[in-house]
């Protein structure tokens, strides 16, 4: 069916004055303020009046260049380049250098935890954390997460056991966790998906009742809080990813944070091959070290983090307002009484929406809006898990349903309010059953 008439109430983009603060996109190599990756040229937007204006139906795309989910937030160029220059002058590039140590101290202080053990990426951080906790046998995790959560276990021949999620929160459902416990279960890895906290208290109660170790994959949760306390101090340890696509990045990077002195010491050894001083290996280990240049990026981005949050929050509110008038689409809410990083703009497509989720993504891609289907199809539907547990989906109905319904939209400092309204206008036409 083809849509008729102009889409109303969406403020279809035309690049006009929207009354909102404009970001210029000027590169701040002089270090004036926060770096914008690349501003989208407002003049390239088209007005969408009907299905005929959609690129998927043959019209030119709304955006001349791809708009990515996960465009990096990059802090002040000048300060970063100064740090990079200092590193080159110092001749110290890695192996627990002074910048990495400063980074660890700053992160620990920011999060209010005793230890930050910086790593080369979030996946290695997960592997080291689970190993340091001596997890083995079976460990309960959500399937609705990035594959690294499960792979970090499987890589060590620990069996990830997938528990279902609460469809309202997209996080582990404690009752489902409880149902998956067996005599082989040694731990639970909760994920704070989209930066919204897992049901920490309930998982703590289950872990304590069944003598299980509890840790969190907080890859999405840097700068987010639960009951006013920043994520990082819950469970026995929490793992962050500082990948380029994350709200806060160190190019590649990650960290395990913990209040447990013994655990922190063990993880420091493990990330450096188990070396304790020259020529003395006292533990099996790997190479999980964070490079100095990554830590320099982290220190720089930490200084500009408030700007990143403000931009993301503004984008999120623009999306929420623009999509509120589209029947059948809802933007996942963040609890405004908590701290959030608003890094993920997650839209759920109702079953009655006239266009499938996959078709929505195709239509957006045709407009150069590279929306993503995170975390479809769920880990249990990917290898090797799909072959290991072909019937896992039977106990994961909410995971399957949510994974079929979610579209993640682009945000970040490169995106302007009128671009967001343009994206919403595409969705508005699709709501008319336009393709």
Q: What 3-state class would DSSP assign to 286?
A: coil
- Closest CB to ligand T4K among 15 and 190? 190
- Closest CB to ligand T4K among 10 and 255? 255
DSSP for 408-420? Answer: EE--STT--HHHH
- Closest CB to ligand T4K among 130 and 241? 241
Q: What is the nearest approach in angstroms of ligand T4K to the Cβ of residue 127?
A: 10
- Closest CB to ligand T4K among 241 and 413? 241
Phi, psi for 157 (deg, rounded to 5): 60, 30
Q: What is the nearest approach in angstroms of ligand T4K to the Cβ of residue 7?
A: 26
- Closest CB to ligand T4K among 53 and 164? 164
d(CA 378, CA 56): 27
Query: For binding to ligand T4K (CB under 6 A), which residues are involved?
Result: 68-72, 121-123, 145-146, 148-149, 191, 217, 219-220, 241, 243-245, 254, 370, 374
Q: What is the nearest approach in angstroms of ligand T4K to the Cβ of residue 344?
A: 9
CA distances from 272 to 81, 131, 219, 284 (A): 27, 14, 22, 9
Q: What 3-state class would DSSP assign to 270?
A: helix
Count of beta carbons in the 10 Å neighbourhood of residue 154: 16
Q: What is the CA radius of gyration of the chain?
A: 23
Q: What is the nearest approach in angstroms of ligand T4K to the Cβ of residue 281?
A: 25
Burial 35-55 (b: 16+ CB within 10 A, else e): bbeebbebebbbebebbebbb
- Closest CB to ligand T4K among 68 and 314? 68
User: Kind of pairing, strands 159-163 and 138-142?
Assistant: parallel
Cα of first residue to Cα of last residue in the chain, in angstroms, is 7
d(CA 167, CA 398): 6
Residue 114 DSSP one-character state: S
- Closest CB to ligand T4K among 407 and 429? 407
Q: What 3-state class would DSSP assign to 432?
A: coil
- Closest CB to ligand T4K among 219 and 425? 219
Task: Mark residue 235 as left, alpha or beta (left: phi above 0; alpha: psi -120 to 50; beta: remaining).
Answer: left
- Closest CB to ligand T4K among 216 and 389? 216
Which residues make Cβ contacts (< 8 Å) with residue 429, sequence separation at least 6? 3, 7, 48, 50, 51, 53, 54
């Amino acid at each position: 069916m083809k849509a008729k008439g102009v889409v109303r109430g969406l403020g279809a983009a035309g690049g006009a004055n929207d009354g909102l603060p404009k970001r210029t996109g000027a590169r701040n190599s002089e270090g004036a303020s926060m770096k914008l990756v690349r501003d989208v040229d407002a003049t390239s937007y088209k007005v969408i009046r009907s299905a005929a204006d959609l690129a998927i139906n043959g019209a030119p795309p709304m955006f001349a260049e791809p708009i990515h989910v996960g465009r990096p937030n990059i802090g002040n160029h000048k300060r970063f380049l100064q740090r990079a220059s200092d590193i080159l002058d110092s001749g110290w590039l890695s192996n627990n250098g002074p910048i990495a140590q400063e980074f660890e101290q700053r992160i620990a202080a920011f999060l209010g935890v005793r230890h930050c053990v910086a790593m080369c990426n979030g996946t290695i951080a997960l592997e080291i954390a689970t190993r340091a906790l001596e997890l083995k046998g079976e460990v309960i995790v959500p399937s609705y997460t990035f594959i690294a959560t499960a792979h970090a276990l499987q890589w060590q021949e620990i069996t990830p056991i997938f528990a279902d999620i609460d469809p309202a929160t997209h996080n582990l459902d404690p009752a489902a966790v409880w149902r998956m416990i067996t005599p082989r279960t040694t731990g639970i890895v909760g994920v704070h998906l989209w930066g919204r906290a897992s049901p920490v208290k309930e998982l703590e109660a289950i872990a304590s009742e069944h003598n299980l170790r509890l840790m969190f994959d907080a890859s999405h949760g840097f700068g987010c809080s639960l009951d006013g306390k920043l994520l990082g101090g819950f469970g026995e340890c929490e793992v962050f990813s500082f990948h380029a696509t994350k709200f806060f990045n160190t190019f590649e990077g990650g960290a395990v944070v913990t209040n447990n002195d013994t655990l922190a010491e063990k993880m420091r050894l493990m990330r450096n091959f188990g070396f304790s001083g020259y020529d003395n290996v006292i533990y099996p280990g790997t190479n999980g070290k964070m490079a100095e240049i990554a830590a320099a990026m982290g220190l720089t981005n930490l200084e500009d983090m408030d700007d990143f949050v403000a931009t993301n929050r503004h984008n999120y509110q623009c999306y929420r307002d623009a999509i509120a008038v589209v029947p059948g689409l809802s933007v996942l809410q963040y609890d405004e009484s908590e701290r959030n990083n608003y890094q993920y703009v997650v839209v759920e497509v109702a079953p009655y929406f006239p266009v499938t989720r996959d078709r929505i993504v195709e239509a957006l891609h045709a407009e150069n809006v590279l929306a993503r289907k995170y975390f479809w199809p769920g880990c249990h539907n990917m290898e090797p898990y799909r072959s290991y547990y072909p019937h896992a989906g039977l106990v994961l109905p909410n995971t399957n349903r949510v994974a079929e319904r979610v579209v993640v939209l682009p945000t970040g400092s490169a995106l302007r309010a009128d671009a967001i309204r343009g994206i919403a206008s595409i969705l508005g036409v699709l709501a008319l059953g336009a393709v």
